[in-house]
Amino acid sequence: QKEVEQNSGPLSVPEGAIASLNCTYSDRVSQSFFWYRQYSGKSPELIMSIYSNGDKEDGRFTAQLNKASQYVSLLIRDSQPSDSATYLCAVNTGGGNKLTFGTGTQLKVEL
Amino acid sequence: EAGVAQSPRYKIIEKRQSVAFWCNPISGHATLYWYQQILGQGPKLLIQFQNNGVVDDSQLPKDRFSAERLKGVDSTLKIQPAKLEDSAVYLCASSRSNYNEQFFGPGTRLTVL
């Protein structure tokens, strides 16, 4: 079982729709969870961090965390073509701040 | 606030040659990370420094890779000798401390022929 799992996609959504990206992790002691956006040929850009159960909203982005189910998700409301990118889920593992990344989900927002 | 700086941005070498990458973290960030990202995969941590001490290098292929962070600021990652499978993007990231959000530099794309 991989430490951090994501569906590789591509996930296609129409412009203006809600995109839902999911991630599961295996380390029960993980405390920090991050979503990074990576455009093709660019480096990862941090868009959301979440540390406690529940929802955290920032503009059009909402991160959701359920530690009991070892599940974290990212919702993007009013999706725009500029949101088309690969979204990486990262989870701290093994204590400290070592991040383990998933393979990423490719999101395509279609006009 | 200036971001993480890396150089060079691109490097092409032949196998068995050596190569070095440089990273300057965000000012005031005590923790520095080197990641390797192979096409189609997420970044994989190679080494983590807290100031100038190594916190985690468990995934660093120490027979060919080395890294240092003299004076607790800039860092250099070296590969000697390079193999074909080292072709990847090498990302440097930094954070304020060992438990904060990490911010990435632009990366160095290495091609080994």
pLDDT tens per residue across all 113 residues of chain B: 789 999 999 999 999 999 999 999 999 999 999 999 999 999 999 999 999 899 999 999 999 999 999 888 999 999 999 999 999 999 999 999 877 899 999 999 999 99
For residue A1, what are its two tokens?
């079982």
Q: Are B86 and B62 in contact (CB under 8 A)?
A: no
Which residue type does B100 have?
N
CB contact under 8 Å between A101 and B100, yes or no, is: no
Which residues are CB-neighbours of B67 under 8 A, at least 6 positions away? B34, B46, B47, B49, B57, B60, B75, B76, B77, B78
Distances (CA, A) of A52 to A30, A34, A70, A98, B54: 11, 12, 12, 18, 29
Measured between CB atoms, does A7 come within 8 Å of chain B? Answer: no
Which residues are CB-neighbours of B3 under 8 A, at least 6 positions away? B26, B103, B105
**Distance of residue A46 Cα from the nearest chain B Cα, in angstroms:** 7
User: Mean pLDDT throughout A32-52?
Assistant: 96
pLDDT of residue A1: 64
Residue A95's pLDDT band, with cuts at 50, 70 and 90, is low
DSSP B40: T
Q: Are B24 and B4 in contact (CB under 8 A)?
A: yes
Closest CB to A43: pick one of B44, B56, B104: B104
Measured between CB atoms, does A42 come within 8 Å of chain B? Answer: yes
CB contact under 8 Å between A101 and B101, yes or no, is: no
